[in-house]
Chains A and B, each alone.
Chain A
């Protein structure tokens, strides 16, 4: 009889474990397997403890032990589940904050430097701000890209350049943006993207995603 119980237990734990397993999410399979095994344990205890050899005292003691063990497992299991998901989500958010700071720093700095140079020019011979941007940042700009960055993690495109102003679009290739379906300038989807516009009136930066 014990072999039958073992086989039933194996099936009730293993089938939901493999059936509900999802790639990149270890919890779905583990939760399903543990629920199946827990259900099996309840059925098993109810069936076995009916035997007359177990007195009322033993049944009560077993129920108390089961409630204590199952309760503590459930609480610690739930805490572990919440904590791991919170940490994973929080790491993503921290990465986005870091990425936003880096993108803003690189592109805004280049724009502010140009703005400063523009207003420090002599009024009689003012180079237009869009043209001046290319002159001020000529060492960094190549094929429409602002180069002073690590291209593995972030990249800045000069998407629009006229004498009256420029637009820079920066993409962080790792940090997640607000919308997972957003099409980024570098061809990726759902990544953090910032936009900086420089005109005579000043620098405007906004987050595209």
Chain B
């Protein structure tokens, strides 16, 4: 490259000198190394809030509060040390790193201008590139980790919400079947005069037929599912089936069977079985 081309390039993009490109390469390498190393030792570091981001600490603490509430443990507010750590992370990531990076860059550019004019710069020349690299690594680490998190976390969140919808649907069907089983049990023992089966699952209106869901006070459809009477075996076992309206990824819906054994002569028994 001759002198004329160098001058032309330098006029076109004067900031991207060879020296600056070297700094950028070192910066990129150091950032990737930091990201890689911090991910390797993630559990050890994050448990001590080292290398963590303030939002990660807030996330962990909020979930811990949920676990404490679940277990009935009394909640305790974050310690001053933990709060100070979060504030320190905000200051380092969002205040000191941008200030250090931009001011070091500006200083390097000013040095270059001074050198071009033939003036000598101040001492400690190594300090500015070093500051540029350190602050750049912090910002690069922040960018890479957050870009990855911004892609992964919302997707994981959607999966978690869907899993919970399915769990809730399963719980609702089982709860409805339990209520239906209690009604069937009562129907079995209530006398015919009170609208029961008189120790039978047969219809109180027509003894030749099995009781209907309506006669037993069981709704055939609720907001949580559709329910059918699968079978009555020897008038000692009644089997109900419930199916949720939620469609699973495999194309079918959560489905359960609920067995009611009223307990003559054996003890009463309720049993739930997952079909799908």
Query: A residues near B, CB below 8 A?
Result: 2, 5-6, 9-10, 12-14, 17-18, 21, 23-27, 29-30, 33-34, 37-38, 40-41, 44-45, 48-49, 51, 53-55, 57-58, 62, 65, 68-69, 71-73, 75-77, 79-95, 97, 100-101, 104, 108, 112-113, 115-116, 118-120, 152-153, 173-174, 176, 200-203, 205
Task: Specify the chain A residue showing the minimal Cβ separation from B104.
Answer: A2
- Nearest Cβ distance between residue B118 and chain A, in whole angstroms? 17
CA distance A104 to B103 in the complex (A): 67
- Do A26 and B14 touch across chains, with their CB atoms under 8 A apart? no
Is B4 in the interface zone, CB < 8 Å from A? no
- Do A24 and B110 touch across chains, with their CB atoms under 8 A apart? no
- Do B98 and A33 touch across chains, with their CB atoms under 8 A apart? no
CA distance A72 to B140 in the complex (A): 12
List residues of B (165-223) whose CB comes within 8 Å of A's CBs: 168, 171, 175, 178, 182, 185-186, 189-191, 194, 199
A86-B69 contact, Cβ under 8 Å, with A17-B90, A120-B264, A202-B186: no
A13, A49, A88: the one contacting B90 at CB < 8 Å is A13
Query: Which of B43-51, B54-62, B235-243 lies at the binding interface?
Result: B54-62
CA distance A73 to B138 in the complex (A): 13
Is B150 in the interface zone, CB < 8 Å from A? yes
A203-B186 contact, Cβ under 8 Å, with A24-B77, A48-B106: yes
- Do B67 and A174 touch across chains, with their CB atoms under 8 A apart? no
- Besides the contacts A24-B65, A55-B13, A112-B186, what 4 more A-B pairs have beta carbons closer than 8 Å? A40-B94, A68-B147, A87-B62, A119-B190
CA distance A80 to B226 in the complex (A): 37
A13-B94 contact, Cβ under 8 Å, with A6-B99, A80-B56, A81-B55: yes
Q: Please indicate the chain A residues that have their CB under 8 angstroms from the CB of B160 in the complex.
A: 83, 86-87
Q: 24 A-B pairs, CB-CB below 8 angstroms?
A: A24-B75, A30-B54, A37-B91, A40-B95, A41-B94, A55-B14, A72-B143, A72-B146, A75-B154, A76-B146, A76-B150, A80-B56, A82-B157, A84-B58, A86-B157, A88-B65, A95-B69, A97-B175, A112-B185, A113-B268, A119-B189, A119-B190, A174-B69, A201-B194
A104-B106 contact, Cβ under 8 Å, with A33-B87, A84-B58, A92-B66: no
Task: Specify the chain A residue showing the minimal Cβ separation from B142.
Answer: A69
Is B96 in the interface zone, CB < 8 Å from A? yes
Q: Please indicate the chain A residues that have their CB under 8 angstroms from the CB of B149 in the complex.
A: 72, 76, 79-80
A26-B95 contact, Cβ under 8 Å, with A116-B189, A119-B191: no
- Do B106 and A79 touch across chains, with their CB atoms under 8 A apart? no
- Do A79 and B150 touch across chains, with their CB atoms under 8 A apart? yes
Q: Please indicate the chain B residues that have their CB under 8 angstroms from the CB of A9 in the complex.
A: 91, 95-96, 99
CA distance A44 to B101 in the complex (A): 12
- Do A34 and B90 touch across chains, with their CB atoms under 8 A apart? yes
- Nearest Cβ distance between residue B2 and chain A, in whole angstroms? 23
Q: Please indicate the chain A residues that have their CB under 8 angstroms from the CB of B72 in the complex.
A: 152-153, 173-174
Q: Please indicate the chain A residues that have their CB under 8 angstroms from the CB of B86 in the complex.
A: 17, 26, 29-30, 33
Q: Please indicate the chain A residues that have their CB under 8 angstroms from the CB of B63 in the complex.
A: 84, 87-88
Is B70 in the interface zone, CB < 8 Å from A? yes
A2, A77, A94: the one contacting B55 at CB < 8 Å is A77
Q: Please indicate the chain A residues that have their CB under 8 angstroms from the CB of B28 in the complex.
A: none
Task: Specify the chain B residue showing the minimal Cβ separation from A61.
Answer: B15
- Do B96 and A6 touch across chains, with their CB atoms under 8 A apart? yes
List residues of B (68-117) whose CB comes within 8 Å of A's CBs: 69-72, 75, 77-78, 83, 86-87, 90-91, 93-96, 98-99, 102-103, 106, 109-110, 113
CA distance A174 to B161 in the complex (A): 24
CA distance A2 to B153 in the complex (A): 36
B54, B110, B171: the one contacting A34 at CB < 8 Å is B54
